Structure 1
Amino acid sequence: MEFSKDYTVKDEHIDVQGIMDGLYYPFYMEWCRHDFIREVLGFDLEEQAHKGVFMVLSQYTIKYLRSLKKGDQFTVTCTLYGDKAGQPRLHFKQTIIMNGKVMTSAVFTGTCIPAAGGRPYLPEAISSLIAEAPKLEFEGIK
């Protein structure tokens, strides 16, 4: 199940070299991922936080292939994967694509934790969706 959103590079994200600062690529991916989590998984991060359920990242890897420039229009994709080892983790493969070329690729891994502290887990509603998702074979990017 692939999800995507379109964006335009914001002027304030451009560095002195005239390209988008590497810091901002994960932000665009986060915006897309959060929309995916809300719109597709039905998990509203703010609402769940008020209920004491925090969805957090545990790691990510990112590979920069090409630079974006001021005003570039691009698409961010997000695809959900379950955990091969059966751990309570969500894996999101994401790419930034412009003109049919992958500019950046990444894998973000997350889980849920109780706000009061405790062990990682996935709420039942998410666990049932993960059960049907493909399993991530490689925890990184190729």
Structure 2
Amino acid sequence: MEFVKQYTVNPAHIDVQGIMDGLYYPFYMETCRHDFIREVLGFDLEEQAHKGVFMVLSQYTIKYLRSLKKDDAFTVNCVLYADKAGAPRLHFKQDIIMNGKIMTSATFTGTCVPATGGRPYLPEAIKSLLVDAPVLEV
């Protein structure tokens, strides 16, 4: 299932070259991913944090293909993937797309950990959603 959100480049994110600073691409992806996690997966990050469950990133890779400029309108997508080895990890493939062209592509990997410390795990509600998810092939 692909989740998609629309955005417009914030003028404050433009650098001296007239393009969006590379720091902000992952932030737009994060906003989309957090909405996906809440709206599709039913996992409210703030609510779960108060219950002692932290969803955290363990890594990400990103490819910058084209630059966004001031006032560009673009979409960010998010697709959930299961871990090939069956580890307690979630993988989110995301793209920033403008006019049908991929501007930036990334894969974010995360898991859940107890707020008090301990081993990574996935809550049962999240695990059940991974049953039908495609497996991330590296």
Tell me the TM-score normalised to structure 1 length.
Answer: 0.97
Say yes or no: does 1:73 pair with 2:62: no
Shift of 1:132: 1.2
1:55-134 matched pairs, under 5 angstroms: 55-134=55-134
CA deviations 1:48-84 (Å, max 9, x no partner) are 0000000000000000000000000000000000000
Shift of 1:37: 0.1
1:6 matched residue in structure 2: 6
Q: Please list every run of at least 4 consecutive aligned residues from structure 1 whose deviation after the TM superposition is greater than 3 angstroms.
A: none
Q: Report the aligned-residue RMSD.
A: 0.3
Name structure 1 gaps, 5 residues minimum. none
1:33 matched residue in structure 2: 33
Number of residues of Structure 1 aligned to a counterpart in Structure 2: 138
2:136 matched residue in structure 1: 136
CA distance, structure 1, for counterparts of residue 106 and residue 28 of structure 2 = 12
Name structure 2 gaps, 5 residues minimum. none
CA distance, structure 1, for counterparts of residue 131 and residue 61 of structure 2 = 24
CA distance, structure 2, for counterparts of residue 131 and residue 55 of structure 1 = 19
Secondary structure class of the residue paired with 2:42: coil
CA deviations 1:66-108 (Å, max 9, x no partner) are 0000000000000000000000000000000000000000000
CA distance, structure 1, for counterparts of residue 107 and residue 95 of structure 2 = 9
Instruction: Give percent identity, aligned residues only.
Output: 83
Tell me the TM-score normalised to structure 2 length.
Answer: 1.00
